[in-house]
Structure 1
Amino acid sequence: MRETVTSPTEVAAVMAGLIGRHHRVTGYEAGREKIREYARAVQDSHPAHFREDAAHELGYHGLIAPVTFVSILGSLAVEELFVRVLVGYDLSQMMHTVQQLVLHRPVRVGDRLDCDICLESFRQMGGTAIIATRNLITGQHDDPVATTRTTFVARTGGVADPDLARAVAAVMMHKAPASPAQ
């Protein structure tokens, strides 16, 4: 088990050695109900996310997922990267600042997706780390589905401000709206 480092200097030294490191998350299946649930959660009411006939009209054999559906697998990969590989960070203390998404093809019902996440860069300024990652999401035949780049701002150590946590919880969507007729 890797020992946790806590000082900014220790974290910077470890991170510098991890640039270019890859981590792989495999076997996420895009099921019919997962696609529908995600579409409801992001309030995307396009019929091709809910009805097979609507997807067929667009030339697909089954439901297609909303464009940002790949963020589910990307989030799982980021979490694993920071829990298993990158040390010294509390995910609750990270801010997602920049996101670039290149969709190579839609996610289709039945896709088994893998994600290769790579630490692209790291720099530290005034106790704050700026961390950039790249995800390549592929289908079951190693065909590219999406490429994403994400930048995070993070600090090591520290405890979340309880007032801030309550404020964030107050503005989060807790219940998905009803979906269109299925």
Structure 2
Amino acid sequence: MADTMSNVKLVIYKKIVDGDLRKFSATSNDQPSGGGARDLRFSPAGEFMAAFEKMFPHRENNVLYGHFSWAGYDSTEVFIHPPTNSRPNEIRIGRVHECFPAGVIPDSARDCILLLILDDNGKVWPHFTSEHSLRTDNWHPVVKNAILEGLGARRGERVTPMGFINIADGGSYTNGR
């Protein structure tokens, strides 16, 4: 992401862990009886819902929907599911094995961060990067600093770092302290 922010309105980020990476390839089933989870989860829902609504303003039956845009691939349909009774604090990107082309999935979750970037044309561009890239490559300081601060925030060891930077309206959120 070059040192320009004129066309970026909002960035949602999430550190990708091994379990997440397995969801992209539809190999997250730990038991032969089930298919395993196929969604990426974001919490707390109260913080993330407004950010996802900006990215995906279309709604049917309380499910947000739209498309991911890709360089070199056709756009893919994406569905954002609201919290459920069993997971009342999570928003989910459903069926990630279908909305992320196999050719963009990283080989390893080691130092892997997913960015969802909303541009001023209303398109959402997923992008995988790393903390190393954020520290050493030419990232815009607003994005770089907010994500690095979010990644470094204190949280429980079982809590995956995630957050967002609202460039258009100002403000940011991280699930750490």
User: Is TM-score (shorter-chain normalized) higher than 0.5?
Assistant: no
- Per residue, is there more strand in 1 or in 2? 1
When the two structures are superposed, what TM-score results if normalisation uses the length of structure 1?
A: 0.30
Larger Rg: 1
When the two structures are superposed, what TM-score results if normalisation uses the length of structure 2?
A: 0.30
